[in-house]
Structure 1
């Protein structure tokens, strides 16, 4: 049963990699996630060999399960940074993430280079194999997983709010699938640490969980597939490297843009031009409108447009665009010509791309529900 479930995870993971590579956009996050899933399915393959006691038949695969999982943490942190950080690029500092892997590789190289007979002799002693499998290296690996995933969560919560300066749809601002993914991973890794200790110290009633807990990894693979097929995995990095996320800190507007080169008069003119464009062309009706697209329409650098929105309109890009969508909804909802349309249908026509986002924005702005508002004003 365990072998069959692990095999299903390998098949599903292979399908996922195909889907991610088929996507033409968001190449960096897609490639990182693809490599992460590739490691997962190869790890499941190694666990399948272990479950079926096949390492003696294929001894050169042994101890790869000690080395390759060390890359999980760095890939999780890189994936989070590549999705959350605006204009993400690989930097030399990212090479530091590979230090644990390189240390493990150096320590394990003598075993990998040893001959078949030596490996078979070692694998034929189950007591020695068990002591080694639950030794200090795999012990540390568990804490590396938890440490890197915790760092990814810290980075996520520290930076995700800044995306409201760039995007107008909730999926790309809050990236809830990534938040859920990181918490699921952290929970899985904490549980893996528990099963590790339970097996190592033969804790009654719990020592038999290992390696069955890898079924949860299969569940995670299917969860990723579900999110991907439901098109809820919004990566959407910016395409123009004008200014970085770190430049948009939560500080006074006068300080934030003190070196932008745009004075108060210029900021006021941009705000006026923006209002005119919103009135004439209604770009906010585009559910996936970004500040880069809006700045292209206005032929204004996006950092100057962001400054004008912050300084002159007292808002950020996400709040501004959704306020325009909300005002459009209030006009269309009370129009008798639209009485045959549902509330959600009108909201979608006004640029909202989900019921949850629409209800959240409406309740925050109006202090009531959309249905109550429409009923009152139509009557």
Structure 2
């Protein structure tokens, strides 16, 4: 078996796995639209990998009706990825007719290529035998426009993902089940493959020495096949990633409170209150960010009143000990409009909701960790008492805010007592 055959085996093997994964995604009964968009993306990438595996003039002369199919497929990659990202990061409705606008480049290209697709076998073989003309077309304006179209949609997919991340940080105090790290890794991996593909394309177009080998050995598609294998692994190891959408409230981002507005979260008398609010030094000094809230009706005096109510309530009632509390829940408990509460936390305290709540949780955990009454509890139990949902989140947030792990903090406090 020579090198070319090994390459073909890798590309085709990855493509077949991709097709199988696409079929599984299409047949899922839950989260159908998102799964089908991702399935369509993986299916078309897999078909393209097969075409690339046999990308020789001899192959297309043998099967001329497959030629130029590879010109059309990549124009679907960007729109499918963007629509999938938008769907999984929002409460977007089902596929809308206006979404078809994203496929206009593919439709226009199909119409442009239709006369070629309708040509006879002999006509296509004659064209393919004219090597210089075929090569010039392969690396012409259409190929370059396709690259820019994919880049455009990759950037927009990342923007949609970052908007989602900002929104959940301003809305939730626990992110473990809704943070889409795998999607960020997926998009950045595709972005990396895109840059390799762009280098390969222009190196081949302009006869750049050495770099032309990237195109010759189809490095970008080998990377894509590796990505398909990674997706397959994720589907086996973490099937919930592809089966279910993030667990968001039904009306995200404007969801209704899940707590009874008239029933405040009960405080615990077991743990001592912090001697000072974690934000006490920021009450009057933080300047408000004008652009985001310039149309807000919240007056300065009312803002300060709301802030005082918020901080008093946090210390007295400890709502942060509810692990899944959201900004809507806290706003309902305080009887403050949610958008005003968000404005106060963002501008007056210069924090998002996630960091605001978790700063209190860390302060609570610091007290519990060194309190003899809680010495019998594990770090996980302490974390849950303070409002954290998992040990991993607790350790990460604690280390970020204090510069120490919980265990290191306990040891350092013990040393301070001895000295």
TM-score range normalised by the length of the shorter chain: 0.7 to 0.9
Tell me which residue corresponds to 1:221.
228
Q: Distance in 1 between matches of 2:368 and 2:26?
A: 41
Q: Distance in 1 between matches of 2:92 and 2:186?
A: 20
After superposition, residues 264-275 of structure 1 pair within 5 angstroms as: none
Quick one: which of 155, 168, 189 aligns to 2:194?
A: 189
Tell me which residue corresponds to 1:239.
250
SS at match of 1:54: helix
Tell me which residue corresponds to 2:218.
212
After superposition, residues 1-379 of structure 1 pair within 5 angstroms as: 1-18=6-23, 20-21=25-26, 25-50=30-55, 53-84=58-89, 86-89=90-93, 90=95, 94-157=99-162, 160-171=165-176, 175-210=180-215, 211-213=217-219, 214-228=221-235, 229-230=237-238, 235-236=246-247, 238-240=249-251, 243=254, 258=297, 282-284=321-323, 286=324, 294=329, 304-305=337-338, 307-308=340-341, 310-311=343-344, 316-323=352-359, 325-327=361-363, 329-330=365-366, 332-334=368-370, 339=375, 343=379, 346-347=382-383, 350-353=387-390, 355=392, 357-366=393-402, 368-377=404-413
Measured after TM superposition, the shift of residue 341 of structure 1 is 6.0
Q: Which has the larger radius of gyration?
A: 2
SS at match of 1:50: coil
Q: Give the 3 Å change call, closer, same or farther, for CA 154–59 of structure 1 in structure 2.
A: same
Q: Give the 3 Å change call, closer, same or farther, for CA 367–49 of structure 1 in structure 2.
A: closer
Measured after TM superposition, the shift of residue 67 of structure 1 is 0.6
303-312 or 316-325: bigger deviation? 303-312
Q: Give the 3 Å change call, closer, same or farther, for CA 31–354 of structure 1 in structure 2.
A: farther
SS at match of 2:212: coil
Q: Which runs of 5 or more residues in structure 2 are unaligned?
A: 1-5, 256-288
192-201 or 203-212: bigger deviation? 203-212
Q: Which runs of 5 or more residues in structure 1 are unaligned?
A: 245-249
Q: Give the 3 Å change call, closer, same or farther, for CA 12–339 of structure 1 in structure 2.
A: farther
Measured after TM superposition, the shift of residue 64 of structure 1 is 1.1
Q: Distance in 1 between matches of 2:128 and 2:290?
A: 60
Query: 2:167·2:253 contact (CA, 8 Å) conserved in 1?
Result: no
Measured after TM superposition, the shift of residue 37 of structure 1 is 0.9
Measured after TM superposition, the shift of residue 27 of structure 1 is 4.1
Measured after TM superposition, the shift of residue 185 of structure 1 is 1.6
Q: Give the 3 Å change call, closer, same or farther, for CA 304–368 of structure 1 in structure 2.
A: same
| TM-score (norm. length: structure 1) | 0.75
Q: Distance in 1 between matches of 2:402 and 2:59?
A: 64
